[in-house]
Amino acid sequence: MRLVPRPDPVRDPVRFVDQRLGAGSLLRSTLRYVFPDHWSFMLGEIALYAFVMLVATGVFLSLNYVPSDETVTYTGSYAPLQGRTMGAQYESVLRIVFDLPAGNLLRQTHHWAANVFVVAIALHLARICLTGAFRRPRELNYLVGVTMLALALVEGFLGYSLIDDLLSGMGLAIAYSVAGSIPFVGGDLAILFWGGEYPGSSAIWPRMEILHVLLIPVAIGGLLTVHLVQVIRQHHTQFPGGPRGERAVVGTPLWAAYALRSIGLFLIVAGLLLLLGGLVQINPIWLWGPYETALSTNGAQPDWYLGWLIGALRLMPPLEVRFGDYVAVPNPFWGGALYPLVVFGILYLWPWIDKRRWGDRARHETLDRPRDNPRRTASFAALATWVFVILFAGSVDRFAFRTLISYEAQIWFLRGAAIAGPVVAYLVTRRLCEELRARERHPLRGWSGEVVRARDDGGWAAQPEEAPTDEAAGEAAPPR
Amino acid sequence: MSGHRHLSRARRLARAVARRRPLLPRPVRVAAAIGCASLAAAIGLGALASQAPSVGAQAGDEPPAATGNTPTSPAASGTATGPAPPAAIGAAPPTVTGSEPAPAAASGSDPASATPGQLAEGRRLFLSGCASCHGEDARGIEDVAPSLRGVGAASADFYLRTGRMPMEDPQDEPQRKEPFYDERQIAALVAYVGSFGGPPIPSVDPAAGDLSVGFRVFGELCAGCHQIVGRGGITTGAWVPGLQEASPLDVAEAIEIGPYVMPAFGDQLTQEQVDSLARYVTWTRQPDDVGGWGIGHIGPVPEGMVAWLLAGAALLLTIRLIGERTTR
């Protein structure tokens, strides 16, 4: 008989750790945590992984960026800018592009990741709003998400502006005008942030850098943690039907199923962003050249996620509120400041607007499919149309250049579309949802054809076979 | 016998698996996803590797490429034979090239020294093709077309060679198209219009210009309308052409005369700056795309389209494939 158990190189250390930390039960519950199966729940994951890529590439970029506008003469390896005087910040990015190994790959991957990050957030937001996932008890987590979207827009603009190339320099000039247009306090605010009247003092570069590489990423990371912890605590919402209900959560456990799927998704996101970074040129700052306040270029645009603000500035008729010579509300305020405030105001209030409209204050662990609540779906479609019509207006000069359709005519058309578009989108979406619901409820509106089969003798026979309506419609049939 | 039974059991098993999962079992899907991602990452890294040489090379070999195939120096244009169509347009007929600033090219090209036969043919072509708008005496017709007295050979050469004149409707904005007249006829018309006085056809030699000077001057004077990489755009009341088809001589003439709503910059620029601008504009046909596919060289609009339509669509497709699709 053995009184002393034989030492085991695996079990013993594990037991040692578990007896002192009690980590076993925590690990077990973590590994058994269930994740939702439906594909639309992975939109937020894409945003998360884009953020991971942003941090990973951003660390490299921040180590090589110089937040200074000190004038230097370019002597690097890019011939068309030889001997040009420029700011040190622009020169440092040229060095990243041309003189550091993999520098431009990482810079471009960073920029593509930023663009895809906001795409994923927008789609994730659409999923939440269309299915009612924001309802009680998840309103606060929804607010956290909308706040991260707002921070992502500011973060993106700062990253774009840090370089001080011709495009971003023009963007900063517009930002200064918009900041200055805030009634009564705007001018002082703009001078405070820029460190003086436009173009401001040198202090703005380290300010923007510290916001871009430290404060806002940390804020996003913190909110992200809150967002995810809250999702874990409350568990995911789910579509109705099957064994699911308000009191049960169905999904795939983390180990050994969902973790693999999620790691796969991360690798796909990372691979796609690296591919874009290596193969598709983004923001070629060496072609734009350095910014000086007297310079400008035709066709200048912000990145897509701020295009709706440029669009609003363009569409807004030249209205100002004046008292004698005093301009109380300068024109850029409407498109550049009030419009995003209204859009984000609607987004922030969305759960409470929804509550009011339906008088529905109950807890909801299950979702509505978009068609199940036609008016909610139609409302979100109207909001999205409002934003995207105006986003399109931001690029209308390039569209006019390509199509030769007069710019002024397009502006007038889009002014109309910005007002009528949401109404049309509302009506069409609502009708679509109602039709979709009606179609699946109506037993006779499925497939009603007849199957004709080849006979062995070469002829054809219309078989009075069981019509495939049940099976074909089964895929899309309502859960109830 | 037993082998047959094994086979049928395997088949039954396969069928059972297939029945449980409509498309592929999840482990296969996950494995496929990871495989795709690794492949994508590998290609990305490959792109990185292929990126390095172009960075090192471009400083050295770019300037000759910009000027090598453009027959634009006065000496070259005298022979007037370039292989590519734009080059042929760029090389103006020998009778009108050069002029006072370039003594080497003063071979009967001055309008003043145009032959009487040329002037007569120019007069004849003018009456049949131009006079209905510009007037029989070339003094213009009010509200239709401007006077051509004093616009000079530079202007006539620019408008005729780039196909901007004649226009169908005098209210239109002149646009680049295939030239209406052949080289001999253009030479005759240019000689005729030039005989009223005005600036002669300028000389330009992009090889003598400096690319970085051209980039800087273009940014200061031209990019506000033509876009910094010469991709064109719109301004109040005008459609600004992209410059990828413009020959160096087109650039020099446009600087001199200021066509349509463009201001004339001839007085502000030295010959070296004009040469440098012509060199820069030629360079923008194929700028340094060290970052990969250039997607139009106009920045955020095509970039946003790639982000949504390419990356967004690819990622949506991915999650549709690796996630479940039913809501039950």
Same domain? For B151 and B262 the reply is: no
Subunit contact A46:B45, Cβ cutoff 8 A: no
pLDDT score at B95: 33
Same domain? For A260 and A290 the reply is: yes
pLDDT score at A22: 83
Q: How many residues does chain B have?
A: 328
Joined tokens for residue B60: 């050295």
Contacts of A47 in chain B (CB under 8 A): none
Contacts of B30 in chain A (CB under 8 A): 260-261, 264
Same domain? For A338 and A421 the reply is: no
B328 touches chain A (CB under 8 A): yes
Residue from the list A78, A284, A289 with its beta carbon closest to the beta carbon of B219: A289
pLDDT score at B60: 35
Lowest mean pLDDT among A292-296, B166-170, B255-259: B166-170
The average pLDDT across A343-347 equals: 98
Q: How confident is the model at residue B25 (pLDDT cuts 50, 70, 90)?
A: low
- Give yes or no for residue A144 having a pLDDT over 90: yes
Q: Which residue has the tokens 């209210």?
A: B171
Subunit contact A105:B48, Cβ cutoff 8 A: yes
The residue out of A309, A330, A355 marking a domain boundary is: A355
AA identity, residue A166: L
Residue from the list B39, B51, B224 with its beta carbon closest to the beta carbon of A296: B224
A119 vs B326: which has the higher pLDDT: A119
A190 vs A13: which has the higher pLDDT: A190
Structural domain including B103 reads 83-202
B283 touches chain A (CB under 8 A): yes
Let me know if residue A455 belongs to a domain.
Answer: no
pLDDT score at A441: 63
Let me know if residue B268 belongs to a domain.
Answer: yes
pLDDT score at B324: 83
pLDDT score at A379: 96
Per-residue pLDDT tens for B254-275? 999 999 999 999 999 999 999 9
Q: What is the mean pLDDT of chain B?
A: 77
Same domain? For B164 and B226 the reply is: no
Let me know if residue B216 belongs to a domain.
Answer: yes
Contacts of B325 in chain A (CB under 8 A): 38-39
Best to test chain A binding among B39, B217, B234 (most A CBs inside 10 Å): B234
Q: Structural domain tally of chain A?
A: 2
- Give yes or no for residue B173 having a pLDDT over 90: no
Subunit contact B303:A78, Cβ cutoff 8 A: no
Same domain? For B148 and B183 the reply is: yes
| Nearest chain A residue to B46, by CA | A278
Contacts of A46 in chain B (CB under 8 A): 315, 319
The average pLDDT across B308-319 equals: 96
- Give yes or no for residue A84 having a pLDDT over 90: yes
- Give yes or no for residue B12 having a pLDDT over 90: no
Q: How confident is the model at residue A448 (pLDDT cuts 50, 70, 90)?
A: low
Residue from the list A81, A305, A404 with its beta carbon closest to the beta carbon of B239: A404
Subunit contact B298:A273, Cβ cutoff 8 A: no
Contacts of A80 in chain B (CB under 8 A): 62, 211-212, 215, 280, 283, 288
The average pLDDT across A274-298 equals: 96
Let me know if residue A91 belongs to a domain.
Answer: yes
CB atoms under 10 Å from CB of B168, counted, come to: 6
B115 touches chain A (CB under 8 A): no
Same domain? For B87 and B198 the reply is: yes
Same domain? For B101 and B197 the reply is: yes
The residue out of B168, B202, B236 marking a domain boundary is: B202
List B residues 194-253 in contact with A (Cβ-Cβ < 8 A): 211-212, 215-216, 219-220, 223-229, 231-235, 239-240
Subunit contact B292:A108, Cβ cutoff 8 A: yes
Subunit contact B33:A273, Cβ cutoff 8 A: no
Subunit contact A304:B307, Cβ cutoff 8 A: yes
- Give yes or no for residue B113 having a pLDDT over 60: yes
- Give yes or no for residue B219 having a pLDDT over 90: yes
pLDDT score at A6: 83
Same domain? For A251 and A195 the reply is: yes
- Give yes or no for residue B99 having a pLDDT over 50: no
Same domain? For A101 and A162 the reply is: yes
Residue from the list A80, A115, A123 with its beta carbon closest to the beta carbon of B303: A115
Subunit contact B328:A46, Cβ cutoff 8 A: no
Joined tokens for residue A335: 């498109």
Same domain? For B109 and B214 the reply is: no
Let me know if residue B311 belongs to a domain.
Answer: no
pLDDT score at A238: 85
Q: Which helix (H) or strand (E) holds B223?
A: helix B223-226
Same domain? For A274 and A128 the reply is: yes
Residue from the list B48, B232, B300 with its beta carbon closest to the beta carbon of A401: B232
Contacts of A263 in chain B (CB under 8 A): 34
Lowest mean pLDDT among A52-66, A67-81, A152-166, B313-327: B313-327
Joined tokens for residue A433: 């949802």
B56 touches chain A (CB under 8 A): yes
A408 vs B25: which has the higher pLDDT: A408
Subunit contact A280:B295, Cβ cutoff 8 A: yes
Structural domain including A101 reads 31-355
Let me know if residue B13 belongs to a domain.
Answer: no
Let me know if residue B51 belongs to a domain.
Answer: no
- Give yes or no for residue B55 having a pLDDT over 70: no
pLDDT score at A310: 95
| Nearest chain A residue to B239, by CA | A401
Q: Using an 8 Å Cβ cutoff, are B264 and B258 in contact?
A: yes
Q: How confident is the model at residue A77 (pLDDT cuts 50, 70, 90)?
A: very high
Let me know if residue A50 belongs to a domain.
Answer: yes
The residue out of A304, A330, A355 marking a domain boundary is: A355
Contacts of B326 in chain A (CB under 8 A): 38, 475
Q: Which residue has the tokens 């009690």?
A: A22
Residue from the list B41, B229, B287 with its beta carbon closest to the beta carbon of A270: B41
pLDDT score at A306: 96
Q: Using an 8 Å Cβ cutoff, are B165 and B159 in contact?
A: yes
Q: How confident is the model at residue B4 (pLDDT cuts 50, 70, 90)?
A: low
Residue from the list A101, A104, A289 with its beta carbon closest to the beta carbon of B291: A104
- Give yes or no for residue A282 having a pLDDT over 80: yes
Same domain? For A350 and A420 the reply is: no
Q: Return the axis-axis angle of helices A339-358 and A139-161, rounded to nearest 10°.
A: 170
- Give yes or no for residue B145 having a pLDDT over 80: yes
Same domain? For A315 and A189 the reply is: yes
- Give yes or no for residue B40 having a pLDDT over 90: no
Residue from the list A99, A274, A286 with its beta carbon closest to the beta carbon of B44: A274
Same domain? For B115 and B156 the reply is: yes
Subunit contact B318:A167, Cβ cutoff 8 A: no
Q: Structural domain tally of chain B?
A: 2
Per-residue pLDDT tens for B177-201? 999 999 999 999 999 999 999 999 9
pLDDT score at B88: 33
pLDDT score at A467: 47
Contacts of B290 in chain A (CB under 8 A): 97-98, 104, 281, 284, 286
Same domain? For B194 and B246 the reply is: no
Same domain? For A140 and A255 the reply is: yes
Contacts of B239 in chain A (CB under 8 A): 400-401, 404
Subunit contact B47:A105, Cβ cutoff 8 A: yes
Best to test chain B binding among A157, A287, A391 (most B CBs inside 10 Å): A287
User: What percent of chain A has a predicted confidence (pLDDT) above 90?
Assistant: 71
Same domain? For A236 and A93 the reply is: yes
pLDDT score at A94: 97
Best to test chain B binding among A34, A39, A111 (most B CBs inside 10 Å): A39
- Give yes or no for residue B110 having a pLDDT over 70: no
Let me know if residue B11 belongs to a domain.
Answer: no
Residue from the list B36, B62, B239 with its beta carbon closest to the beta carbon of A401: B239
B63 touches chain A (CB under 8 A): yes
Q: How confident is the model at residue B158 (pLDDT cuts 50, 70, 90)?
A: very high
Contacts of A407 in chain B (CB under 8 A): 234
Let me know if residue B64 belongs to a domain.
Answer: no
* DSSP summary character for residue B324: B
The residue out of A355, A383, A406 marking a domain boundary is: A355
Let me know if residue A258 belongs to a domain.
Answer: yes
The average pLDDT across B136-161 equals: 93
Q: How confident is the model at residue A471 (pLDDT cuts 50, 70, 90)?
A: very low
The average pLDDT across A427-436 equals: 94
pLDDT score at A365: 87
Residue from the list A39, A241, A264 with its beta carbon closest to the beta carbon of B34: A264
The average pLDDT across A377-388 equals: 97
User: What percent of chain B has a predicted confidence (pLDDT) above 90?
Assistant: 56
pLDDT score at A452: 81
Instruction: Using alpha carbons, select from B160, B211, B49, B175 the residue that is nearest to residue A279.
Output: B49
Same domain? For B153 and B216 the reply is: no
Backbone angles phi, psi at A238, to 5 degrees: -150, 155
pLDDT score at B31: 64
Q: How confident is the model at residue B82 (pLDDT cuts 50, 70, 90)?
A: very low
Q: CB under 8 Å to A382, separation ≥6 — which residues?
A: A422, A423, A425, A426, A429
| Nearest chain A residue to B242, by CA | A401
Per-residue pLDDT tens for A233-263? 998 888 886 666 677 788 888 887 899 999 9
A455 vs A168: which has the higher pLDDT: A168
| Nearest chain A residue to B299, by CA | A283
Same domain? For A344 and A375 the reply is: no
Let me know if residue B54 belongs to a domain.
Answer: no
B64 touches chain A (CB under 8 A): no
pLDDT score at A167: 95
Subunit contact A112:B314, Cβ cutoff 8 A: no
CATH, residue A339: 1.20.810.10
Subunit contact A369:B39, Cβ cutoff 8 A: no
A249-274 burial, b if ≥16 CB within 10 A, otherwise e? bebbebeebbebbbebbbbbbbbbbb
Distance from CA of A314 to the nearest CA of B (A): 13
By CB atoms closer than 10 A (0-12, 13-18, 19+), residue A395 is buried
- 3-class SS letters over chain A: CCCCCCCCCCHHHHHHHHHHHCHHHHHHHHHCCEECCEHHHHHHHHHHHHHHHHHHHHHHHHHHCCCCCCEEECCCCCHHHCCCEEEHHHHHHHHHHHHCCCHHHHHHHHHHHHHHHHHHHHHHHHHHHHHCCCCCCCHHHHHHHHHHHHHHHHHHHHHHHCCCEHHHHHHHHHHHHHHHCCCCCHHHHHHHHHCCCCCCCCCHHHHHHHHHHHHHHHHHHHHHHHHHHHHHHHCCCECCCCCCECCECCCEEHHHHHHHHHHHHHHHHHHHHHHHHHHECCCCHHHHCECCCCCCCCCCCCCHHHHHHHHHHHHCCCCCEEECCEEEECCHHHHHHHHHHHHHHHHHHHHHHHHHHHCCCCCCCECCCHHHCHHHHHHHHHHHHHHHHHHHHCCHHHHHHHHCCCHHHHHHHHHHHHHHHHHHHHHHHHHHHHHHHHHHHCHHHCCCCCCEEECCCCCEEECCCCCCHHHHHHHHCCCC
Same domain? For A287 and A434 the reply is: no
Same domain? For A250 and A292 the reply is: yes
Q: Using an 8 Å Cβ cutoff, are A71 and B50 in contact?
A: no
pLDDT score at A169: 95
**How many contacts, defined by CB atoms under 8 Å, are there between A and B?**
281
Per-residue pLDDT tens for B273-302? 999 999 999 999 999 999 999 999 999 999
Residue from the list B44, B235, B328 with its beta carbon closest to the beta carbon of A242: B328
- Give yes or no for residue A154 having a pLDDT over 70: yes
CATH, residue B222: 1.10.760.10
pLDDT score at A443: 56
In angstroms, rounded to a whole number, what is the distance separating the alpha carbons of residues B142 and A116? 56
Q: What is the mean pLDDT of chain A?
A: 90
The average pLDDT across A76-86 equals: 94
pLDDT score at B191: 94
